[in-house]
Structure 1
Amino acid sequence: MTGTSAAAIVYGVILGAGLWLLLFRLPFMRPTTFTQRIGPLERIVRPVLRDGLIARGKLNLGSKALARRLAQAGINKSPVEFRAEQVLWAAAGFVISIGLVVLGAVSGRFSPVLAVIAVLGSALGGFLFRDYWLGVQISKRESRMMAEFPSLAELMALAVSAGESATGALDRVCRSARGELAKEFSKILAETRAGKPLVEALQEFSARTDLSPLVRFVDGIIVAVERGTPLADVLRAQAQDVRDTAKRELMESAGKKEIGMMVPLVFGVLPLTVVFAVFPGIAAISLGF
């Protein structure tokens, strides 16, 4: 073996070793480590655990979140009473599904697996549907409160401008208006007359609502009461802010509906128009006119 052959063998071995290392160190050829194997599992399990904790909080009989939601819906029930009502809804779904299963069995269409799934699903659906309906009640009540808010805020501003205090303005609003927001103001006024400070009663109302305009409104009243700033100007500004927000939401809703109307126009009316415009000419050509 000459020196050239020996050098060629050495270079070939080095090149082969380099190619082997390059090939087996590529990402798809590397062995998967334990950390890499459990990484995706952790990303999957974490949201499941978080959702489970949220669901557990909803199912808690003494849940503060449920009590707050009941207050937002204007329902004078304790969380335990609401859970009992959910159980009744579940029982109603269970009974209805049992009746449907019996009717299916009488008519000769009966599957034990489907029957069990239908019965359990109906019971669970009744339980969850009551919670969903509570959310619907909250949304409807908050919509009514926002519709009432500008008028009541301006009425309070007029009362304050006439020399009434914040408590007196609330009293005048409660005697003059009817509605969901007026009921909340009546509750604040009743708590104030029972000895609770006005600021504390307003803060409790702010804590049990998710409507940001109302929260800003209450915060403005609290600041005006504590610091002695002009309350009438604050109330008028809040009312105008809510009206501007309602106008923006109305414009956004109109824009979305306008885009939605393009679908039947483009795919329904426009093709028919083209057909009515072109068909007479095609018929005339086919008849040889």
Structure 2
Amino acid sequence: MRFSLPRRLGAVVALASVALLAGVSSAGAAQAPSVNITAIEAKNGNLVGLISASGGADIDPALTVTVAGKDHPVDAITSGQGSPVTRTAVIVVDTSGSMGEPGMATVRTAVAAFLKSVPDDVRVGVVSFSGKAVTDLAPTADHGKVQSAVNALKSNGETALYDGVQLAVRTLGSKGERSILLLSDGGDTASKSTQAAATAALKSGGVRAEAVSFKSNEGNVAVLKGFASAGGGSVVSAANAGAVASAFTSAAQTLASQLTFSMPLPPGVTAVQNIKVSGKASGAKFATTALVDFGDGVPVSTPTSTAVSKVPITGPTEDVVKASGSGSKVLGLSPVVLLAVGAVFLALLIFGLALSSSSFKSGRQTRVENIDRYVAANAAPTKGKNRQRAVSENLVFFGDKVMEGRESTGKTMALIERADLPLRPGEWWVLRIVAVVVGVAVSMTLIRGGVVMTLVALLLGVVLGLIAPAFALRFLAKRRAKKFDHQLPDVLTLVASSLSTGFSLPQALDAVAKDAADPSAKEFSRALAETRIGADIADALERMADRMDSGNMRWTAMAIRIQREVGGNLAETMRTTAKTLREREELGRHVRALSAEGRLSAYILIGLPIGIFFYTMQTNRAYVELLWTRPLGLIMMAGGLVSLGIGVFWMRKVVDVKV
């Protein structure tokens, strides 16, 4: 059957067109890269992901992320100079006897090319397998150590390929973008596991596998292709050292060409969602998916509306207060304002009581004050000073009335005398009131928050205001008493010297009052003044011992009383007493030095939790607030305070050594 020339030309053109279209289609299919999401997670309020294309293909940064059926345009950035997603790669090297020394030299050259091109933030590890799989180097950012580990590999023994792949998956961990670069001939002769187990490890771990088939036949390549397919990677056949180095460099470029995208978490999306990322790679469209656990997600913000304008303004009714959106306020005022108003009212009340306190004076006190003003009336002060003096005197008098008749007043005045502070009971009361006001002001400045925190700050300020003056008074009294005891041996030596030269005891005490340092000079001067108005000298010294709470002075007064009753050499008695006191003080200092480490440990252990609490209050307040916003936190705080109190008592007893 013959065809005409036009028909023949038409058939040729048709066949050529079909062949051209088929070639273009096949070429396009060959050039379309495989794009995968290699890491994605929801953290810190953002959805962060990492995508990569096989062969290091270029990915268009303009991506579309589909979450819960809604598209979100995202501009990705290259990860070549670092990525917020942790990236880890493990080089898996076949070191069986079939590799030989030439094969190991090829591995060293290929790894050097890989490390030269891989981004600096990628942590690289080394796993080798021959008769068994071994982790030669855990993943590290020090790429020099990686090259050294590979250079130390030797070729020997059987091949445990499947065990090597599984060990590499375990070495990679479970976070971030993970990949293995496998160099093998594809054979396995010594693995305890199977090819299916190794493939399943790659799939379940989400590990990308890039394989380089070296000195392999067709059957071996099929095994490596199975690994690459399970890990979303590719297989490159390399028959010589140059091809292997090129394959390793291509794997490094795949890491360098990865893109990182980040977007805020969509509100209302929770639990596990299937996320789709679509875009273009090397001009071809792609779409890849991955599962992401959003947890509780970001709550959907709902605008609040008020109905204040709809309520008729007939007065400050409860409806108006509720409509204004201030349910936590009382009468439209915040708790802080109410506390401030209460503090002002309290201050005015105290001030009014102070001004009217003169009406509480008895007739006797009024007559005595009138006589004092008549006798001591010299130059009349100014009117303003009179008013200021009247206010302060009335306030102090009110404090005297408050302190009068209390059991603690006697102990407080004894401490004030021991500390040598010129304070009356009323003045001490006023000082404590001022301390409470200052404590409340400081605590409310440092501790800020809602109603609960304001009440806590108020309570803490009151406690500090009440405790701090008492603590300071005891500290000052104890310090002055210790100084008196420290001076007493020298004072007794001075008394003994004066008695040896022929002075009487009162004259010797007068020498102490004139020549000794404070507080000894002041206390002995007071005792001497008591003897001049008729008191017994031994009784005056015993009162001084009680006033200074000094056991050493009590022994001294007892020695003087006994010597006066039975007779003897008082100067020698004073010298013996002084020597005994010096030896006792020396022993006490020695014991204090030996217990210094224990006391320092006690101070640190007591102050450390308190200091950390206040520091964390300023740096991470939300973390500390769990202690009083949760029932378990309240229980823990109560238990901690009780344990701290027991520890303070216990350590104080341990380090307190009596001499």
Q: Name the TM-score class by shorter chain.
A: 0.5 to 0.7
Q: Is residue 2:485 matched to residue 1:146? A: yes
1:16 paired residue number: none
Question: Residues 233 and 94 (structure 1 numbering): CA distance in 2 closer, same or farther, change over 3 Å?
Answer: same
Question: Residues 114 and 212 (structure 1 numbering): CA distance in 2 closer, same or farther, change over 3 Å?
Answer: same
Report the Cα distance in structure 1 between the residues aligned to 2:535 and 2:553, rounded to whole angstroms: 21
2:591 paired residue number: 252
2:419 paired residue number: 73
Of 423, 433, 437, 1:91 maps to 437
Q: Is residue 2:480 matched to residue 1:134? A: no
Deviations 1:128-152 (A, max 9, x none): 1110111111221122112211111
2:558 paired residue number: 219
Contact 1:71 1:208 in 2 (8 A): yes
Gaps of 5+ in 1: 1-56, 105-109, 262-289
Report the Cα distance in structure 2 between the residues aligned to 1:85 and 1:260, rounded to whole angstroms: 32
Deviations 1:166-198 (A, max 9, x none): 111000111111221221101111222233332
Letter in structure 2 aligned against 1:113: V
Report the Cα distance in structure 2 between the residues aligned to 1:86 and 1:258, rounded to whole angstroms: 35
Question: Residues 83 and 164 (structure 1 numbering): CA distance in 2 closer, same or farther, change over 3 Å?
Answer: same
Q: Is residue 2:406 matched to residue 1:64? A: no
Is the helix fraction higher in 1 or 2? 1
Deviations 1:78-119 (A, max 9, x none): 333222211211111123234446xx4xxxxx2111111111
Identity rate, percent: 24
Letter in structure 2 aligned against 1:162: T
Of 441, 455, 461, 1:116 maps to 455
Contact 2:542 2:553 in 1 (8 A): no
Contact 2:513 2:520 in 1 (8 A): no
Alpha-carbon RMSD: 2.6
Deviations 1:209-261 (A, max 9, x none): 32211110122122223443321122111111111111111221232347889
1:161 paired residue number: 500
Report the Cα distance in structure 1 between the residues aligned to 2:583 and 2:491, rounded to whole angstroms: 16
Structure 1 residue 63 displacement after superposition: 2.2
Q: TM-score by structure 2 length?
A: 0.28
Q: Is residue 2:537 matched to residue 1:191? A: no
Question: Residues 260 and 125 (structure 1 numbering): CA distance in 2 closer, same or farther, change over 3 Å?
Answer: closer
Contact 1:174 1:186 in 2 (8 A): yes
2:579 paired residue number: 240
Report the Cα distance in structure 2 between the residues aligned to 1:146 and 1:202, rounded to whole angstroms: 14
Report the Cα distance in structure 2 between the residues aligned to 1:81 and 1:224, rounded to whole angstroms: 43
Report the Cα distance in structure 2 between the residues aligned to 1:238 and 1:95, rounded to whole angstroms: 52
Report the Cα distance in structure 2 between the residues aligned to 1:260 and 1:111, rounded to whole angstroms: 39
Letter in structure 2 aligned against 1:171: D
SS in 1 for 2:595: helix
Contact 1:224 1:231 in 2 (8 A): yes
Letter in structure 1 aligned against 2:573: V
Question: Residues 127 and 177 (structure 1 numbering): CA distance in 2 closer, same or farther, change over 3 Å?
Answer: same
Structure 1 residue 61 displacement after superposition: 7.2
Q: Is residue 2:528 matched to residue 1:182? A: no
Q: How does 1:97-108 map to 2 (within 5 A)?
A: 97-100=443-446, 104=448
| Larger RCO: 1 or 2 (CA < 8 Å, sep 6+) | 1
Report the Cα distance in structure 2 between the residues aligned to 1:184 and 1:161, rounded to whole angstroms: 23
Letter in structure 1 aligned against 2:443: S
Contact 1:188 1:201 in 2 (8 A): yes
Report the Cα distance in structure 2 between the residues aligned to 1:79 and 1:221, rounded to whole angstroms: 34
SS in 2 for 1:223: helix
Contact 1:202 1:222 in 2 (8 A): no
Q: How does 1:201-220 map to 2 (within 5 A)?
A: 201-220=540-559
Contact 1:61 1:80 in 2 (8 A): no
SS in 2 for 1:163: coil
Question: Residues 146 and 207 (structure 1 numbering): CA distance in 2 closer, same or farther, change over 3 Å?
Answer: closer
Report the Cα distance in structure 2 between the residues aligned to 1:144 and 1:191, rounded to whole angstroms: 23
1:267 paired residue number: none
SS in 2 for 1:63: helix
Q: TM-score by structure 1 length?
A: 0.62
Is the strand fraction higher in 1 or 2? 2
Report the Cα distance in structure 2 between the residues aligned to 1:129 and 1:169, rounded to whole angstroms: 41
Contact 2:545 2:551 in 1 (8 A): no
Question: Residues 241 and 228 (structure 1 numbering): CA distance in 2 closer, same or farther, change over 3 Å?
Answer: same
Report the Cα distance in structure 2 between the residues aligned to 1:247 and 1:176, rounded to whole angstroms: 25
How many equivalent residue pairs? 198
Q: How does 1:3-18 map to 2 (within 5 A)?
A: none
Question: Residues 186 and 258 (structure 1 numbering): CA distance in 2 closer, same or farther, change over 3 Å?
Answer: same
Moved more, 77-86 or 143-152: 77-86
Letter in structure 2 aligned against 1:203: E
Report the Cα distance in structure 2 between the residues aligned to 1:207 and 1:177, rounded to whole angstroms: 20
